[in-house]
Structure 1
Amino acid sequence: MHTLEPNYNWRNIYIAAEDQRSPFFGYENSEVYFTDQIYNYLIHPQWDNFGSETLYLKVLFADYNLGFAIIEFLGEWNDLLNNDIMTLKRDVIEVMIGEGINKFILICENVFNFHSDLDSVDYYEEWQDELEEGWIAILNAREHVLSEMGKFGIDQYLVMGGKLNDISWRTKHPKILFKELDELVVKRLGF
């Protein structure tokens, strides 16, 4: 897992640690030392720790004028034991919503497992309710992750699956990716 890096193709146009409006403003990643791990596996030092023991992220891009953010995840999303959604919602998402972000693109191809329970669903509902004409889209999630989200009804608050599960996003400019997803999500939601 130490070889899985967050996407770095957009670092020339956005770095969360240099964005004063980002929850990760001033965050310092080691360029040399592997300081974090998931279970017994070291992870690449460029991933950001938001307080979860098993899930790490990287805010790849945020555009406050268009109101969207792209966040890439790595690890095991565990709402059952670690209440990852509560920590993510309170410490990252609420800061971004406060800065005008109401559309979230969550890249989940490196989320290897997802565990939920009925109590954690309230955080997804709360998140969606706070977005005012916004949305949360899950890109490229593994089938068993989507299945687990659907099993607990989380899919009613997130746009996921179908065409969103086969998006080639790395080679696109983030604003072009957003435009394509916004059109797709708006059609799906029937706005």
Structure 2
Amino acid sequence: MRRQLRTDAGQAFPIYVVMVAGLLFLACAFFAVGKASATRNGAQGAADAAALAAAQDARDTLGPPFVASLMTPGGLHEFLQDYTFQTGTPCMEAQRFAASNRADTKSCYATYGYLQDRMHVSIRTRYTVGDTVIPGTETRQGTADATAVIEFRCTYKFKGDPGDPVAFKCDGRDGISIDPTDFDQGAWAALSKAIFAVHLVDD
């Protein structure tokens, strides 16, 4: 009887070792998936921050041409439909925010549309997933894309001639009146924030 017990125990031991090894491998695999997910989330956060920074920087340049458009017949419509801003400085701002999140921009560009423009940013992390039981993760970097929109948030009615003050209703609220012939140039950024919204969108 004792000999039979020893035999059964000897047969069970290899099975136990295989089970423990399998559980350890699964644990390591789940750990690798977790590290990959964390890298992906970090990349997406960096891309979102970079796209928002680029769009906000571009928005801050829109005040002067916006006010100038109120001086000519049909000028505001033409501005909203056709105006294009330079992307050099906004893309530098995107890179700065990407770098603060340990990433670099792969691409940064704008697309334009009536009542809204978009800044598109792609990034790659400077760090990798790291060593795991899954081959290749030690060199795998995180990548992500993000798009931020600059959206005209106001409605308006011209009641006078070009160059006369114009009243705007923004986000359903009255209260923004712009006199293009007597505008405080120190308020460009504040005007841009009041007139244009910036937010992330799905590409």
More helix by share: 2
TM-score normalised by structure 1 residue count: 0.25
More strand by share: 2
TM-score normalised by structure 2 residue count: 0.24
| Larger Rg, first or second structure (1 or 2) | 2
